[in-house]
Structure 1
Amino acid sequence: MPLFDKEPEHRHDQVARTGVLLINLGTPDAATTSAVRRYLKQFLSDPRVVEIPRLVWQIILRLFVLTTRPGKSAAKYALIWNRDGSPLLVWSQKQARLLKGYLGERYAQRGQEGPVIALGMRYGNPSIAKAMDELRTAGCERILVLPLYPQYAASTTASAYDAVFKQMARYRNPPELRLVKSYHAYPGYIAALAARVRQSWNEQGRSEHLVLSFHGLPRYTLDKGDPYYCHCQKTARLLARELQLEESEYTVAFQSRFGRTRWLEPYTSVVLTQLAKGGVKSVDVFCPGFVADCLETLEEIAMEGKQTFLAAGGKTLNHIPCLNDNPTWIAALADFSSLQLTAWTDGTLNSETPLEAAKIANLRAQKMGAKQ
């Protein structure tokens, strides 16, 4: 096997371009036991996801987890699978297409070609490697790596970086990279979250209490310095302020526990039970950390969460959909991407011809000389 992949054919008249690599977690290829087993094997073999000595965990994973969990998870995926496939993949692909349209229109107004947009999944398909190859084939010499995880976690954002760097090691002539670490407090993102909640309240009515449910992580990640918990709390505070909520009107919780270890608290299932037993009859549940609806929102919250709440005495649970293709969110994503690209190129876009770039560099030199 060659050490490096073959480079795309170089053309001297080809203008260097900039790409945006959107990354999401991933999904099985189908709602079947075999497809889910392949997905879980890749996902749960990531040392960023399960921080247990590798040999010990591989024994547990292969002998126990992969023999029992795939069938149960496949049944859950089947409940949310639609005609087009996995909701997470469908929404992520649509976000990529809409972002391409938004940025393309903005750049066209300036007489420039917009960045190339590609979507890669950390686990499953389309892979990060495939997406990066697409960008290189399109002539991208700079790639903005934009994980669709607003809050940073080593198990998500850093793991996505690992996959990007692994692919970079295969290139003889790798592109420049700019990495987005988080945007948990970015005003456009907060405004988009608030717009999504208000839309639900306008359409469905407002419940007595709002639960902001984030994906959970083992408690030790916080003790070891992972800022994820703090990022979630800040997102929740900013969103509550945007919605003009008092502290008593909302609760931050964490879902998706796995295994017996202690996870970030309070747990969403426990919060829903306590609210119902405390006399709250209706709740809205919103998942700010997920930018696209997926198994964790459509099945775990909208189905399991509802059953938990009703069983404890509640009357109605309204799952507020994720950002998905909400126009406010896509506009915010475009604004954030433009901000990152502009800062990276110092006010120029990586679509100038060499002559244009030389003229700009000459003008800058003249300005610097005049200042001196």
Structure 2
Amino acid sequence: MTVRMLGASLLSLGLLAGCAQTPVLRGTGDLGVVIERATGSVQVVEHSGRTSLGSVPGLGDLSHAHVTYSRDARYAFVFGRDGGLTKVDLLTRTIVKRIIQAGNSIGGSVSQDGRLVVAQNYQPGGIKAFDADTLELVSEVPAEYAPGKFSKVVGLADVPGQKFVYALFDAGEIWVTDFSDPKHPKTTRFPAGQQPYDGLVTPDGRYFMAGLFGEDGIALLDLWHPEKGVRKILDGYGRGEEKLPVYKMPHLRGWAMAGGFAFLPAIGRHEVLVVDTKTWTEAARVPVKGQPVFVMARPDGRQVWVNFAFPDNGWVQVIDTPTREVIKTLAPGKAVLHMEFTPRGDNVWVSARDDNRVTVFDTDTFEVRKTLPATAPSGIFFSHRAARIGF
């Protein structure tokens, strides 16, 4: 072999080696995670091809888990029941960092500028702000509502202006904390009602709503005019009627807003409440199969999908928003815990914990498009949440 031929062969081998080492490039816009609660892992999925890319283990107790995303949608922040906060890289499917920041945590959110990750805690109560890059503690706000008395924090949501809004279950209050100066947050307190159990922010970031477990009604705070205080809406919607035993608390975070109306789960009832968002008064009630847990609108608002607490948690019903009637009843599997729409609403992913699967439905035809195996799946969270207020 001549020197020229040898050089050409080495060059070819070098080019081939270079090609072999080139990483696969992709965006993160169609990625997401499925919580596998039994194994303390998350399964990374992509919804364009409806496939699983792999699992990331080692995330601790995910019996009640929540996920939010970094501003660029590359990193998932996973909050676990054991107080763990884990930063997961969706592209490499690895843990970037994991900390135990509390005794019991049920969720969190990311600030408007993407620089802070804020965790809401049951134990010891309060919120903590961390640097989104390093997960180093920046500041914290203990939920001490009276001398020596601390409350569980629920319903945390990010809102414009580097602020976070959340409810204090034991205190019966809504707090708004401003992190414009991250190391010196400022908090404003508002009386809300008996035992606010969850909260949500309207898509424009204006209104915060907290459901009340201790009384019939919803606490509503106008964040444009906080000086007006909290207003009670749907006051006494179940007055004079016996409540059913509550087997699972409804989640307002998955609420539905469609056509100028909000669709909300009625606690202790087999009904979805319809609220006129111009007047914040009750407009209708939709009878459903069981006690609603998640009441979620398809992104175009034309449909509302509902799942239920035990013993009806094997069913999902679809409400047509113009007629406010149930148009489809589906049986995706045993113990349906969560649903997540693809960004434009062509598909919805539904987890069935006890059947160890996730089913993908076409939202027009209700046909099954794909079934994916998962170990005791619960929450499903797609990365487009990174661009939405209150998630």
> Structure 1 length as normaliser, TM-score?
0.28
Q: Which has the higher helix share?
A: 1
- More relative contact order, 1 or 2 (CA 8 Å, 6+ apart): 1
